Amino acid sequence: MITKIIAHRGASKLAPENTMYAFELGYKLGAEGIETDVQLTKDNIPVLIHDETVKRTTSGTGYVKDYTYEELSKLDAGSWFSPEFRNARIITLEEFLVWIKPKDLYINIELKNNKIDYKNLESIVYNMLKTHRLLERTTLSTFNPNSVKRLVTYQNNIEIAFLTSKKYPNLVEYARKLGANALHVKYRLVNQQLMEQAYEKNMPVRVYTVNKYKPMMHCFNQGCDGIFTDVPYKALTFRKVFQYKKKL
């Protein structure tokens, strides 16, 4: 099994996260999947941004939920990273899905509802994926256990991942009881026991956010299904090194 390299918020070490610049760059650099974050605007438009507020990554201030999409779209979402990206803007989930559909890329959409539990976020995102016929190659992930439970009704045709950085006595069983059929975990939680338990239950394990050589090698060695990385170009090189060493 080859560990999939997933561009975390796009190639976010080289371009402003969750913008078309980062997604395009991740794709061109050879990433096998794209991870992004979704929240809802005041007028219930799903948009791609990590923080609940716009302050860190745009020219604005305040909460995403208090802006209409038209207002959000006018913000500069790139100059904070570098002046060359001053034309970057917050994009909608729909724009992203139209862009990614013809490309052979795995999709991970993190529902950012652990701090603000957006009403109907699950159904809005699910129905948009269904409309674009992208359910089969998409994982919906969330830190929010209640959100996992709400997603269970869609489980027959979409992968649901429980996201966590916390230790549990039996994380695989906990996630399964919630209704998840995949696990996305922080690097320090990855060990042989977790991988064996997940394999036994046919539960994919993907790891965030892995940017350095040793942690990547550990994930490859443990047989993780995927890693989320800000540096997909490095991850692809290191995976080749791992595969070469394995043949020796």
Residue-wise pLDDT for 19-69, tens only, equals 999 999 999 999 999 999 999 999 999 999 999 999 999 999 999 999 999
- Position 157 scores a pLDDT of 81
The token pair at 51 is: 């923080």
**CA–CA distance, 139 with 137 (Å, rounded to integer):** 7
- Position 1 scores a pLDDT of 81
Which amino acids are annotated catalytic?
Answer: 8, 50
Residue-wise pLDDT for 94-106, tens only, equals 999 999 999 999 9
Q: Cα dihedral angle (65, 160, 48, 29), rounded to 10 degrees?
A: 170
Decide if pLDDT at 154 tops 90.
no
Closest listed residue to residue 192, CA positions, set 219, 173, 229 = 219
DSSP 8-state assignment for residue 190? -
- Position 180 scores a pLDDT of 97
Decide if pLDDT at 215 tops 70.
yes
Indicate the pLDDT class of residue 155, thresholds 50, 70 and 90.
low
Task: Please tell me whether residue 8 adopts helix, strand or coil conformation.
Answer: strand
The token pair at 148 is: 């996992």
Judge whether 185 and 214 are in contact, CB under 8 Å. no
The tally of CA atoms less than 13 A away on the side-chain side of residue 200 is 9
Residue-wise pLDDT for 169-203, tens only, equals 999 999 999 999 999 999 999 999 999 999 999 99
* SS3 per-residue string spanning 106-127: EEEEEECCCCCCCCCHHHHHHH
CATH number of 4-247: 3.20.20.190
- Position 230 scores a pLDDT of 98
Select the more confidently predicted residue: 137 or 156.
137
**CA–CA distance, 222 with 242 (Å, rounded to integer):** 12
Residue-wise pLDDT for 221-246, tens only, equals 999 999 999 999 999 999 999 999 99
Alpha helices in the chain (DSSP H): 20-28, 69-72, 93-100, 121-131, 145-151, 171-178, 192-200, 213-222, 232-247
